[in-house]
Amino acid sequence: MSFIDKVRVFAKAGDGGDGCLSFLREKFMEFGGPNGADGGKGGDIFLRADAHVTTLLELARRPHLGAQAGAPGKGNAKTGAAGADTEVAVPAGTAVYRDGVLVADLSEAGMRWRAAAGGRGGRGNLSFKSRLNTAPRICEKGEPGQAVTLDLELKLIADVGLVGFPNAGKSSLLSVISAARPKVAGYPFTTLSPHLGVASHKGVSFVVADIPGLIAGAHRGKGLGLEFLRHVERTRLLLHLIDPLGYGGSDPEAGIGIIERELEAFSPRLAKKPRLLVVNKMDLPEGGRALPALRAKRRRRGPLGISAATGAGLGALLDRVIAELAKAPAARGIDPAPRPSVTKVDAGFKVENKGGGVFLLRGRFVERAAAMLDATLPEAVDRFQRTLKKIGVDKALKRAGIAAGDMVRCGGHEFEWSERPYQPLRRLRRAHKRTRIDVGRKR
């Protein structure tokens, strides 16, 4: 199975159901009144961390997520059924980004986050009944569900992370201390994706993560390390495996500095994690020479010597690991971007002169109102016009230089501006996604 740890998904929640325009028609009920009910709410889309999911492969194959739309309202005050929610399982440790900003961190199994909210149901004419309007001929369309583009990034959750140059023996060590079976070979970049294994020593179990080898310049995209360093960000302890033969012309001492600089360049948080220096391949003559030299230069770090091939020194290494884990703080999730202390309220609308007698009306409120407008109902259009006038759209259009006959676009509708005195609408001319009405009439 392919290991996929980054994916972009497109989530579209369910639309709300349309409201119903209906009047009671029963024998001996001459003035039964309106009884059209509201539409049902659209379904939400949730992401849920699942301990049994280990990769984002399924989302990479099916990146478009959707939820059920709400059912339309019916007569006899029967509200439409709400649309079913969609719940998508992701691996524990998945970070969710929107426009490059972290919005959720599903670091523990069972955590649940709403990725897209379903639209509310449109109101039926029963909801518009009032003392002054006892027989409203108006209803709303359902609100469109939220549509978002999200970037999902998996960061494996482990206690111990193995880092080092390619061919330092990380995969060999993981296969010896756990039941994991990563590919082991005598050439660089054998490991092409991270591997997890569960190790147990003296009654203490811990999870070990092996990532592809690092090289100089990994934080700038060289090799494979940049793609997978994120998988040791959540670890509590790093084991820096050192090849006594060196790598790429650098001796073991110089190689330690290269790896540590790469960790710091990738993430200051990663560079601050506790690390153990471990010289592998002690069964080779070079190992017997490299370990004393490192202990002399880095006495405070207390380098250890092991041989993954023969098992020498593994007991002392695991003793040191469980002792360090006992002192290391528990792994925690990544904190999402802090919310501002002062909430900024967006303007209800914005007018943009596109030229050629066309003006664009944008804004969350006005676009939602336009999407829920049933332009076939004169009373609904009249209410929409009065709403725009109340919030100052007509004044803003005049300041923008609108003239009679110019077109105003909002959502999927086009409106013709007119300075004629207001009259109740008698006829509506409509084409596909084009409604020709007057929005600037004086009242």
pLDDT tens string 230-243? 777 788 888 888 88
CB 387 within 8 A of CB 409: no
CATH number among 1.10.1740.10, 2.70.210.12, 1.20.120.140, 3.40.50.1820, domain 6-154: 2.70.210.12
Tokens 């206690």 belong to 159
Render pLDDT for 42-62 as a digit per residue (tens, 0 to 9). Answer: 999 999 999 888 788 889 999
Per-residue pLDDT tens listing for the chain (443 residues): 456 778 999 999 999 999 999 998 888 777 788 999 999 999 999 999 998 887 888 899 999 999 999 999 999 999 999 999 999 999 888 999 999 899 999 988 899 999 999 999 999 999 999 998 889 999 999 999 999 999 998 887 778 888 888 777 888 888 888 876 655 544 444 445 677 788 888 888 888 888 776 655 544 544 455 566 777 778 888 888 888 887 766 778 888 888 888 788 777 777 788 888 888 888 888 888 888 888 888 888 888 888 888 888 899 999 999 998 888 776 555 655 555 544 454 567 889 898 888 999 998 889 999 999 998 898 998 899 888 888 888 888 888 888 888 899 988 888 888 876 554 433 333 433 444 445 555 44
Contact 378, 138 (CB under 8 A): no
- Torsion-angle region of 224 (φ positive above 0: left; ψ -120 to 50: alpha; else: beta): alpha
Domain boundaries, the chain: 6-154, 160-327, 350-436
Q: Residue 5: name the closest of 156, 170, 115 by CA.
A: 156
Question: Which pLDDT score is estimated for 172?
Answer: 85
pTM over 0.85: no
Among 284, 259, 263, 282, residue whose Cα is nearest residue 272? 263
Sheet holding 45-50: strands in order across?
A: 86-91, 45-50, 112-116
What is the tens place of the pLDDT at every residue in 343-389? 454 567 889 898 888 999 998 889 999 999 998 898 998 899 888 88
- The CATH code of domain 160-327 reads 3.40.50.300
- Kindly state the tokens that stand for 410: 């909002």
Rounded CA separation 104/90 (Å) = 12
Virtual torsion, Cα 260, 264, 268, 270, nearest 10 deg: -50
Could you tell me whether strands 195-201 and 275-279 are parallel, antiparallel, or unpaired per DSSP bridges?
Answer: unpaired
Residue that has been written with the tokens 């609100």 in this structure: 143
> Residue 4's pLDDT is what?
76
Interstrand relation of 64-66 and 94-98 (parallel, antiparallel or unpaired): unpaired
Architecture of domain 350-436: 2-Layer Sandwich (3.30)
Distance between CA atoms of 39 and 50, rounded to whole angstroms?
33
Answer yes or no: are the C-beta atoms of 223 and 305 closer than 8 Å: no
User: Residue 41 corresponds to which tokens in the numbers above?
Assistant: 């709410």
**Cβ-defined contacts of 412-418 (< 8 Å, 24+):** 412/370, 412/371, 413/370, 413/373, 413/375, 415/439, 417/359
- 160-164/112-116 β-pairing: unpaired
Q: Cα separations (Å) of 1 from 54, 100, 172? A: 10, 28, 21
- In angstroms, the CA 304 to CA 301 distance is 9
